[in-house]
Structure 1
Amino acid sequence: RKGRLADAEMLCRQQLAADPGNGAALACLLDILRSAGRIDAAVAACDELIAQCPELPALRRARGNLLLALGRCADALADYDAALAAEPGDAVCWNNRGAALKKLHRLDEALASFERAAEIDRDFTEAHYNRGDLLLQLWRYEEAIAACDRALASDPRYARAHYDRGLALQALSRFSEARDSFERARKLAPDMPWLPGQLLHCRQKLCDWHGLEQLYREIARGIEQGRPVCAPFYDLPTPLDLSQQKRCAELYVSEILPAAGRPLSPTRARRRIHVGYFSADFHDHPVAQLLAGVLESHSRRFRVTAFSFGPDSDAPLRRRIVSAVHRFAEVRDLSDNEIAQLARESGIDIAVDLMGHTQNSRPGIFAMRAAPVQVNYLGYPGTMGASWMDYIIADRVVLPAEHRPHYSEKVAWLPDSFFPGGGERAIEPGDADRASLGLPEDGFVFACFNNPYKLNPADFELWMSLLRDVPGSVLWLAGATTAVMDRLRDEAEKHGVDAERLVFKQRTPTVAEHLGQLRHADLFLDTRYYNGHVTTSDALLAGLPVLTMRGETFAGRVAASQLQAAGLPELVAGTADQYRERALALATDAGALAGLRERLSSARRNSPYFDLERYTRSLEAAFQAMHTGAVDGQPARHLEDLQPSAPSGFWRRLLGATK
């Protein structure tokens, strides 16, 4: 207490020399060394004592805790096992053993350890919480909620349990309950890392816009101060600018991920470049829908492996992807380090991250260096903020040259859109007519099928002004929870629009049926901060014109990229006023709308955006340039003038798109 730490350390060592089993002296010594950042010295002290008294379990447990803090999880596990062999009823040791196993990605064993700790001490709050946290990671959300509830029964003020409970509820789309859990965590621990971003995203999922501007400002201020207030992705559907989004990603990477692995050098140029695609979404997921055609179109100059760390699936789309690649590796039970090691052993030249900072992503794989070249592509519309991600695939619209300082990656600019819009996708017209879908027979149908979290008060106010100015018109929105639909109806009434003029689309059994129903809409209205990406692609494929507002960020420029490549630049507005004027003009001029639909129909046959083979050859040109540069020992560099390697159809006729 008087700050005489050196004297205290000496006294503790003297007491332990006389009695190695003196638990109070050991705890005091280790506390002194840890507080001084001398963890290696603490381990050395434990080593000396264990050499004298190897039979004392407290010493092995103490060293295990230190080794766990140093990240030496396998060594820590050995100490915990030795301690438990002597004292099998030590609940704390079982709990810490579970933590070591979790870090080693031996998740089933970790869960069993946490459960054993909770069995021994039924009021052990941390053990119940750790069990719930792991169940959350295993996608066993109902069980995770029950475990968090058990932790809270022991300690109602345990903020982390409220937080994890919110995460599990959110994963089950129980957003109102999730928001309440996040709010309780916030009251108990206002400075909890990442909590403001989680609360923001949950409110956006609910279209609960009360206090949204205040949360935006809080998150922006926290990012500028270098605090971990928001995980990347949650900042995308917000007014935060590119510099703030980059800083947000950098903070997340520095807080969450291990130090970068050493760069790898290719041994030689390859006749066939080996590309690895990494994702948890190789199932019925929008990114998989987009990617399947690309995988099928790869030429023989490329060998392709898919690394899947998501749930198992027997969906037709999954089977299609499996048949399109040379190897489909199920790696969900492996740790990040083990997956990266597998990729290196497999000779992957280019590792493609399809997820970035989205849900269930595993960026730690790339921090460990899975391949000599690593690429951020398609799934995450922003920078990774990481030194170990070499490239981002983009185009001149979605990422103009003047935006380069706001990306940690070097840019590979494709000549058209970075977004794959072509490929064979079934459209089922079906028997549904407007009346059966709840739409007016003659009124103008505005539509937006973007996820509710992309909606925002400014866009909604603009849309309501259009409904007021176009008599008989309706706004057709994606189906949502009852709470979301009720809230949006209330918002419409506040803007002087009858709530019945909002129509919510029911989910269809298949994507093909959904695409077929889009013919009943007249104009798709996009969202400004985070555009429709796959929803824009779906609409254009179905012949539905999309009106967007070009934003300042990657996520806010994707629809502009697609429309530019499709030859429809007039559907890209630069301001909110232009957006409103063009929407109103198309809603009141049937001839202009019909002409636009005709041009869109022609674009599906002739524009680069819908030419999947051209797109894949352009992507391959980027991969070739990346690989060649790495083989030559060059650091990653911006890549431009990437033209398709051959005219459309040439490689398919000459080589085929075979495995």
Structure 2
Amino acid sequence: MARAAVPPDRPAGRLAGGTVAVQHPMSVLDQAVARHQAGDLDEAAALYAQVLAAEPHQPDALNLLGVLRAQQGDPAAGEALVARAAALRPDAEILANLGRLRAAAGRVPAAEAAFRAALARDGSHAGAAFALGTLLLNANRPADAVAPLELAARLDLNHGAARANLGVALHRLGRLGDAESVLRAALERDATQAAARFNLASVLDDQGRLDAAEAEYRLLTARHPDVADAWLNLGTLLHRRHRDLEALPCFQAALDRGTSRRAGALAHLIHLHYRLCRWDAAAALIPQLLSLLEAGDDSAPPFAVLCLEVEEAVRQRAARLHAAANARAAGPPLAPASLGPAGRPLRVGYLSADWHQHPTAYLMAGVLEAHDRHKVTVTAFSYGPDDGSPMRARLKAGADHFVDLRGMDDRGAAQAIRTAGVDILVDLKGYTEGGRPGIAQLRPAPVQVQYLGYPGTLGRGAGIDYVLADAIVLPPGAEAYWDEAVVRLSGCYQANDSGRPIAPPSLRGDWGLPDDAIVFACFNAAYKLTADVFACWGRLLAAVPKSVLWLLDPGAGLPALQATLAHQGVDPARLVVAPALPKARMAEHLARQACADLFLDTYPTNAHTTAADALYAGLPVVTRAGVPFISRVAASLLYALGLPDLVTYDLAAYEAKALELARDPALLADVRARLLAAHTRPGGPFDTGIFCRRLEGAYARMADRARAHLPPVDFEVE
């Protein structure tokens, strides 16, 4: 029950006077309050009823019996009784209880009216102020919640929950420094407040102060080990920092302690097992996750589900659940926006956290520069870090306008986009790490598109009208599992920068590779590795003498991979680790790929940017294409380069193609020559100019439909 619903001593408005008879209604009321406070609800109810039999309009008895009925599971009867009390004596305490019961029933406007009436009667009622602020916060009105929560904290200096919720409101408003100050002040008064420490850790995390956030989560889990979501957040933070072995027990602790975000904890745990190459452990948990999704648990990150080998309907369901949860949190969208006048360049905005040294930036930098300014003007909206790199400077120079959204909450960011004046907003993140889908959910632009970052639907209600794709990654017939209208660009959908520098060639010896053997390579992240694919790679090593497998450093997953090879009878020393190079050394990373003979793609999650890197550097890629978008990106690149013979559609064909190329130097040399010739192919994946013309054609058609008040529809761009 909400705070102060049952008075700590006796009800307000007790009648004054001299001696009364033993069974006077007020004496019975005192007994009822005592039994109520002791938790004997049935006896208390009988005593309240006895009072009301003698005095049917006794407001204190009506008020407290109403509270009790709600505690017994009949909130409607409870509200009716408290409403009668408020009509008889509308004092602050009774009105506050009425507001609490209405809030519990989800009647937000009526609850707000009751709390405001309570404060109008008594502006010093801390309980009403706290309840009003919390109601507004839960209704995603953090700006409105600040004043009543500040009042509650000011009126009751020991009201830790008021300060904790005030910190949440300031956090949601993007006032991270103010939120930190309020939460630290709360903890100075009472260091045992779990909610305040939990929220402080979350604020520090969003400030990028990960060491400090981790310290607060660890202190919280030590002092309050049963706070399940503290374990979940700690695990998520450690997971993001690639401290996988430390994160593992945190997710398990969250599950063991009954986190309400069970699907989220399971999805993280499964993804973590994949990163550690513990495939059997991951597989054992997937049925539980699927059951939770079927039951409507909306806490699973859609990207973690997207990477699993599950039905397309499951991926779509995870996205829809997430979109619905985001919509509830985002609140009402902005008022509808209008496009600028026809005949002028379209105002296109690209929204991302990745305008720095990041794979998305490597792909998109040339696009920002190559757009035809007679057709579009470009604004880059950034809510990610400024790393001060040459890439950041290039991106800012490549856009006509660069707007930094850091420090703004989603609504503030959406309003900034609206103020900037955008006809078409392109979300480049979606549900990938660091994405803020709540911005697009608020509809800051008249036409909204998702592209490049997230290779799956964002789900119905995400605020997105279109997805940019092509006929390979999203073939005709696949639209049923997408809630956006599908725009298919000719060629490959993926943006690329034809001007990316490649460092001078390096030597195999520089990377610990043999000079006289076939080098199979894969620079995909470890979470994309699966048992079937890695077993296939082990068989290839066994079939091709002296060959080696060159993998991007799998971190804590390396022992499992080595053990798997040993179990197959392959010397684990034939697995050579390629160190992950700093992002500033991307040109060197591209250059070292020439030391490999063949890139082996993963399945079901293909190489995306990684495939483009290899092909741009001249390294052939053998891929296995599946059904979903996430399994067809390398195929799209290869078809656009005129190399469809490197695309396979089942594991046996994939293994046979890789083995054929490894055993036939002439055939492999021919593939390399064809790849080199296709590098400058007009309209190919690395022709940034023609790619931009296709994009501009798509944007123009979207705008035409919007101006004609026509709904989004699937179409193709030649």
Where on the TM-score scale, by shorter chain, does this alignment land: which range? Answer: over 0.9
What is the match of residue 620 of structure 1?
A: 696
- Say yes or no: does 1:242 pair with 2:312: yes
- Say yes or no: does 1:91 pair with 2:140: no
Instruction: Quote the RMSD (CA, aligned, Å).
Output: 2.0
The correspondence for 1:322, drawn from 384, 396, 402, is 396
Distance 1:595 1:267 in 2: 51
Distance 1:502 1:621 in 2: 46
Matched-pair contact (CA < 8 Å) for 1:169–1:177: yes
Distance 1:82 1:260 in 2: 26
- Say yes or no: does 1:45 pair with 2:114: yes
What is the match of residue 443 of structure 1?
A: 517
1:392–1:56 Cα change, 3 Å: same
Distance 2:73 2:483 in 1: 44
Matched-pair contact (CA < 8 Å) for 1:222–1:229: no
Matched-pair contact (CA < 8 Å) for 1:141–1:171: no
The correspondence for 1:202, drawn from 244, 248, 272, is 272
Within a 5 Å distance, the mapping from 1:482-497 to structure 2 comes to 483-497=556-570
The correspondence for 1:511, drawn from 582, 586, 600, is 586
Q: Secondary structure at the match of 2:602?
A: coil
1:247–1:6 Cα change, 3 Å: closer
1:437–1:69 Cα change, 3 Å: closer
- Say yes or no: does 1:287 pair with 2:364: no
Q: Secondary structure at the match of 1:609?
A: coil
Distance 1:495 1:42 in 2: 66
C-alpha distance after superposition, 1:320-378 (max 9, x if no partner): 11110111111111121122112222220000000010111111111111211111111
Distance 1:5 1:223 in 2: 30
Paired residue type of 1:389: I
What is the match of residue 574 of structure 1?
A: 649
Distance 2:75 2:667 in 1: 81
Q: Secondary structure at the match of 2:411?
A: helix
Q: Secondary structure at the match of 1:634?
A: coil
Distance 2:218 2:134 in 1: 27
The correspondence for 1:212, drawn from 282, 302, 306, is 282
What is the match of residue 236 of structure 2?
A: 167
Measure how far apart 1:446 and its partner are. 0.5
Matched-pair contact (CA < 8 Å) for 1:267–1:631: no
Distance 1:235 1:449 in 2: 22
Within a 5 Å distance, the mapping from 1:316-465 to structure 2 comes to 316-387=390-461, 388-430=463-505, 432-465=506-539
The correspondence for 1:58, drawn from 107, 127, 132, is 127
- Say yes or no: does 1:604 pair with 2:674: no
Distance 1:260 1:13 in 2: 30
Matched-pair contact (CA < 8 Å) for 1:477–1:503: yes
Paired residue type of 2:432: T
The farther-off stretch of 103-112 and 612-621 is 103-112
Query: Scaled by the length of structure 2, what TM-score is found?
Result: 0.85
Paired residue type of 1:347: G
The farther-off stretch of 555-564 and 138-147 is 138-147
The correspondence for 2:138, drawn from 55, 69, 73, is 69
1:7–1:502 Cα change, 3 Å: closer
Distance 1:503 1:389 in 2: 43
What is the match of residue 654 of structure 1?
A: none
Paired residue type of 1:547: V
Query: Scaled by the length of structure 1, what TM-score is found?
Result: 0.93
Distance 2:159 2:692 in 1: 58
Measure how far apart 1:422 and its partner are. 4.7
Measure how far apart 1:190 and its partner are. 5.8
Measure how far apart 1:229 and its partner are. 5.2
Q: Secondary structure at the match of 2:124?
A: coil
Q: Which has the higher contact order (CA 8 A, sep 6+)?
A: 1
Q: Secondary structure at the match of 2:242?
A: coil
What is the match of residue 655 of structure 1?
A: none
- Say yes or no: does 1:552 pair with 2:622: no
C-alpha distance after superposition, 1:92-130 (max 9, x if no partner): 211111122122222221122111111111111111111
Within a 5 Å distance, the mapping from 1:265-280 to structure 2 comes to 265-280=338-353
Paired residues, number: 638
The farther-off stretch of 246-255 and 378-387 is 378-387
1:260–1:582 Cα change, 3 Å: farther
Matched-pair contact (CA < 8 Å) for 1:91–1:116: no
Distance 2:159 2:452 in 1: 48
Measure how far apart 1:560 and its partner are. 0.2
Distance 2:540 2:201 in 1: 47
Measure how far apart 1:231 and its partner are. 1.2
Matched-pair contact (CA < 8 Å) for 1:343–1:371: yes
Within a 5 Å distance, the mapping from 1:459-474 to structure 2 comes to 459-474=533-548
What is the match of residue 499 of structure 1?
A: 572
1:561–1:341 Cα change, 3 Å: same
- Say yes or no: does 1:224 pair with 2:294: yes
Q: Secondary structure at the match of 1:606?
A: coil
C-alpha distance after superposition, 1:169-214 (max 9, x if no partner): 1122111111111111111116524111111112222222232222
Distance 1:469 1:5 in 2: 71
Matched-pair contact (CA < 8 Å) for 1:603–1:610: no
Q: Secondary structure at the match of 2:630?
A: coil
C-alpha distance after superposition, 1:384-430 (max 9, x if no partner): 11342011110000001110111111111111000124511111124
For structure 1, the 5+ residue unaligned runs are 644-659
Distance 1:171 1:410 in 2: 32
Q: Secondary structure at the match of 1:610?
A: coil
% identical equivalent positions: 38
The correspondence for 1:477, drawn from 551, 571, 576, is 551
For structure 2, the 5+ residue unaligned runs are 1-68
- Say yes or no: does 1:638 pair with 2:708: no
1:563–1:215 Cα change, 3 Å: same
Matched-pair contact (CA < 8 Å) for 1:268–1:631: no
